[in-house]
Amino acid sequence: MITTASTRALVASLVEDAVTAPSMHNAQPWRFVHRTAADTVELYGDPSREMPHADP
């Protein structure tokens, strides 16, 4: 559980960086969700941004 404002700011900064992390064809096929009630950040794959086929 995140308990301090500085920790929240750090987590927000890390998620900001993670959202733009390099990926194949710069697709960034992930989605982050902040659950305020639980004070958590969840990471999900985003099928709409996946590559349809991989190189052989």
Give residue limits of the domains in the chain: 5-49
Share of the chain above pLDDT 90, in %: 4
- The residue-averaged pLDDT of 15-32 equals 85
In this prediction, residue 42 has a pLDDT band, given cuts at 50, 70 and 90, of: very high
DSSP assignment of 21-45: ---GGG---EEEEEETTTTEEEEEE
Tokens of 54: 């991989």
pTM for the model:
0.60
Higher pLDDT, 5 or 32: 32
Shortest CA distance to 33 belongs to which of 23, 44, 21, 20? Answer: 44
Dihedral angle, C-alpha 43, 45, 49, 54, nearest 10 °:
130
